[in-house]
Structure formats: structure tokens, C-alpha cells
Amino acid sequence: MNTLTTVRPEQSKTSAATGRGALVSGGLVGAGISLILVVGLIHLINSPGDLEEGSYTGLLYLANFLGALAAALGIYRGKRWGWALGLLVAGGAFAGYVISRTVGLPGLPVETEWLEPLGVLSLLVEALFVGVYLAILARPKQETSVVEASSSASS
């Protein structure tokens, strides 16, 4: 028992989130969790009005919120599916916003208000989440360094 194998504590946590063994900093993980939760909360705030109108978009907003919660949990646990679900939630919401204001959603009139404050904030946060996700995917695959420490009681 002359050596002890440990991972350097100053290194970033290796996450299975990318599926490539890339090192993912805690800051990027925290940013991803925070951003996807904000996306979900924005849609939760918007859901009551649409639910009262009887529009299916209120249900889509609730689904977005629940998907964002699940994605945040997956990201926190270091699961690749959390990031993929977050990308689907954020990307779907972004696409839905643009579609609802260009050609319109099925059965609903085209929205005319492009600069609604919560809508603009939502687009910004969704784009930031996608940016964080892409930054994680772009990180090079790295091996975790192992340090050998000799025991002081060597023969």
C-alpha cells in the first residue's frame, strides 16, 4: 500500500452529460440548470391566461415547465438526457414563439406582438441555454488526471 490513487480536486467534474467524457465545469452545469429553470418558470407564469382562454397553448406552457424541471434534475445528476431534454424544451419554445408570430399555430390566429417583455426574455434565456449546451459539446474530450501519492511509511 505505497500509493493512493486520487483525482485532483481542482479539476472539473467529469460528466456523462455530453456522452463523450468531456470535463464539464460546475459553472456550466449551474448555468444550464438555472437557465432551463428560468425557461420553465416563464412558461408557468404565462400558462394561467391561456388556460382561461381555453387555448391548448396553456397546456403546452405547463408541459414546458414540467419538461424544464425534469431537464434540470437530469443535468444536476450529470445525465446526458437532461441536456437533451433541455435542448428540446428550450428549442421547442423558441421555435413555437417564432412560428406563432409568423404563420401561426394550428387553430389559432397569428400573434402580432413580437416584443412582449416575457416573450423576449424567454427567447434570450432559451438561446443562452442552447449556447451553454453547445459550449459543453464543443469541449474537447479529456482524461481525468490521476495523481499517485507515496505513503510516508514506506519501507
pLDDT, tens digit, 9 for 90 and up, residues 119-155: 999 999 999 999 999 999 887 766 545 555 555 555 5
Exposed, middle or buried: residue 40 (CB in 10 Å: 0-12, 13-18, 19+)? Answer: buried
Q: Would you say 72 and 37 are in contact if contact means Cβ atoms under 8 Å apart?
A: yes
- What are 71-90's pLDDT values in tens digits? 999 999 999 999 999 999 99
In a domain, 97, yes or no: yes
Q: How far apart are CA 56 and CA 53, in angstroms?
A: 9
- pTM assigned to the model: 0.76
Q: How far apart are CA 154 and CA 150, in angstroms?
A: 8
pLDDT at 149: 57
In a domain, 19, yes or no: no
In a domain, 98, yes or no: yes
In a domain, 18, yes or no: no
In a domain, 94, yes or no: yes
In a domain, 96, yes or no: yes
Q: Between these two residues, 3 and 67, which has the higher pLDDT value?
A: 67
pLDDT at 143: 54
pLDDT at 54: 78
- What are 86-106's pLDDT values in tens digits? 999 999 999 999 999 999 999
Strand-pair partners of 146: 7
In a domain, 148, yes or no: no
In a domain, 150, yes or no: no
Domain, as residue range, for 102: 25-139
